[in-house]
Structure 1
Amino acid sequence: MHDKVDQREVIVERQGSAGIIRLNRPRALNSLTLDMVRSIDAALSEFAADADVATVVVMGEGERGFCAGGDIRALHESGRAGTSLAEDFWRHEFHLNHRIAFYPKPYVALMDGITMGGGVGLSAHGRHRVVTERTRFAMPETGIGYFPDVGATWLLPHALGEVGIWIGLTGLEVGAADVIHAGLADVQVASFQLPELVDTLAGLSRGASSRDVDVVLKNLSTDPGKGPLRLNSSLIERTFRFGTVGEIIAALKAEVSDFASETLRAIELRSPTSLALTLRLLHEGKQSRSLGQCLRREFSACLGILDSPDFYEGIRAAVIDKDRKPKWMPATIEAVEPAEIERFLRPAEPPLALV
């Protein structure tokens, strides 16, 4: 371990044939700043060009989380002050998400502990996604007047069945078994074996392929069992297949089960505007041809969010005042005007540039 505390927010190093990227804001659950996004992008460029690097491993420092998402307080302040930080952050972050999806070398994300929002963008687009018994995975954005971004409108609609719609609307946490069930991670490895996993990857030859990485992961993997989403998959299919949030709520009310009741309770606490926007974006994502198309649509919606009262109210209630009592406008899903949702889908100018 390090003799003194490393102050860098992203630590980039080589270990054998592995390029290691460590998010280093453990007290902030490794939530992402614009500088961190730029540092990760630069490291990926460096490792892609280095013939001695066979694999890239991305991980979080501290025991609690891989990455809890973007620095939403900074985005809130930027929107309030009218500065360009929020837009700059989203442009760079979405470019990075797209890059990860098409990275030329085996990319291994260790989704240990809290993996939410922007942390999902850094991991779930990767080729090799490792969860542990400590993984707490969520896209909790509807609870802060926002929507699942970082390419989630591509990932979630392509998850197994309607599980991705459940994840996107409820914002609730799921564990390792259900992340794998949804197709958003590949294997579970016990958290105490992660150092061994990194050492083994570092020992691979320079020409190691994704197939070689798969063998390493399989050898260290454990059976996560069945999680609540898998156990309730038929209920989720029945209730989340509809085109509007109102129909989903009505279907949940018709079910008699604790799982349906908990799901309904979660949805009824979320921003109605966010719920309607999220469902629309997820359905658009299902019809889309590429991740890039979804990221561009999300970016347009992000700029619309900066003019949305629920975004500021949601972050106030969750992060600033912490009273957990947001007052949404409008307060019910029935009062959300379709034209209000269309506003978020107006193409951004200039559009998001993706290479």
Structure 2
Amino acid sequence: MTGTDDSVLVRVEGRAAYLTLNRPTALNALTHQMVRRIDGALTAWEHDPSVETVVLTGAGERGLCAGGDIRAIHNDARDGDGSASAAFWRDEYRLNARIARYPKPYVAVMDGIVMGGGVGVSAHGSFRIVTERSRVAMPETGIGFVPDVGGTRLLGLAPGELGTHLALTGASLGASDALYCDLADHYVPSQSLPELLTALAHAPVREVIDRYAREAPPGELAAAQAWIDACYTADTVEGIVERLLDHGDSAAKQAAETLLAKSPTALKVTLVALRRARRLGPLEKVLDQEYRVSCAALATPDLVEGIRAQVIDKDRTPHWSPPTLAEVSDADVERFFAPLGERELGLAVPDITQ
């Protein structure tokens, strides 16, 4: 692995190969070059008998990865033709699928902030470690976008309707709740990470993780599941909001208020995408669907406006179009799932609706 790019640090020590996302000032947000570099390393290590384990970490103290480089997506959607973003997602989603099927143990250290694209390069791994500092989320509806990188499948498989709640509200999870929702497998105190990372170079993964894993501090979602399941089984976003407001639990009311601040279009598309993902089956089929949705989002005003409000200008007052749930029609939603013809991602069978 050569080259001057240091956005992903690559090294091999003993029996382990290490990938470090290295844009700490941008909270290790993924660029297209980073995706390519990770993929290239995985190709080299897959056929290297001396490499037994792959380990993913993030540089800096704040987290593994805050997601994709949404500033670049904003500029491409606003000023370009969207082709750069579509090309990025094509390679990113293929990488997500590759991580899920990688033939060697892939250990993701999900310490600190892990959001969006950060979930995509970690939560599909074979060993997913969280710490007391972990904050795991898919917050896309807040920027007029929809959970991607296989997120609709991951959240669709969470217990009950927890994944629906997380996908629509963008709420973040601590360690215990990430474990409960099967977005992670093991809890390791952050102070033990340096020793764990060193040990992986010298001993089998399972042995090392068993040595350092502990019981996670209590979470919150299990206790909230009753009201979440009761409210989020509604057929529509409007129905979910109505149930949340009528439920009586203060947390349910707060969730309703959170939803009403998100992009109405993104909420409706997310609900359909999540429920279809549950029926699609393999990750590859879900990624194919997500690629259709993501490419469609490039042509909508909410993606540019959402990123502007949350990341560029940071005024936190996006002006959604249309501004209300009632104004988003079924036809508006269905357009996000329209076939792309020759531009399909094509990870699964050609017709992903079957």
TM-score by length of 1: 0.94
1:143-292 alignment runs, 5 A limit: 143-204=142-203, 208=204, 213-292=205-284
Pairing partner for 1:301 from 264, 269, 293: 293
Quick one: structure 1 residues 101 and 202, their matched pair in 2 at CA, closer, same or farther if it must change by over 3 Å? same
Is residue 66 from structure 1 mapped to residue 64 from structure 2 by the alignment?
yes
Distance 1:43 1:16 in 2: 16
Q: How does 1:102-113 map to 2 (within 5 A)?
A: 102-113=101-112
Please give the secondary structure, in 1, of the residue aligned with 2:337: coil
User: What's the offset of the Cα at 1:166?
Assistant: 0.9
Deviation digits for residues 95-120 of structure 1 (CA, Å, limit 9, x no counterpart): 00000010000000000000000000
> Quick one: which of 50, 53, 62 aligns to 1:52?
50
Gaps of 5+ in 1: 1-5
- C-alpha separation in 2, matches of 1:337 and 1:46: 48
> Who is 1:14 aligned against?
12
- Partner Cα distance (1:353, 1:284) in 2: 17
Tell me by how many angstroms 1:76 deviates. 1.2
- Tell me, yes or no, if the aligned pair for 1:299 and 1:348 is still in contact at 8 Å: no
Which deviates more from structure 2 when the two are superposed, residues 21-30 or residues 312-321?
312-321
Q: Which amino acid aligns with 2:36?
A: R
Q: Are 1:120 and 2:119 counterparts?
A: yes
Cα distance per residue 1:233-254 (max 9 Å; x no partner): 1111111112211111111111
Distance 2:30 2:340 in 1: 23
Aligned length: 343
Partner of 2:322: 330
What's the Cα RMSD here? 1.3
Cα distance, 1:83–1:307 mapped onto 2, change above 3 Å = closer
CA contact (8 A) 1:249 1:264 kept: yes
Amino acid at match of 2:90: R
User: Per-residue displacement from partner, 1:157-190 (whole Å, max 9, x unpaired)?
Assistant: 1111111111100001111110001011001101
For structure 2, the 5+ residue unaligned runs are 349-354
User: Corresponding residue for 1:135?
Assistant: 134
SS of 1:74's equivalent in the other structure is helix
TM-score normalized with structure 2 length: 0.94
Runs ≥4 residues deviating over 6 A: none
Greater Cα shift, 121-130 or 217-226: 217-226
Q: Distance in 2 between matches of 1:319 and 1:22?
A: 24
Match of 1:3 in 2: none
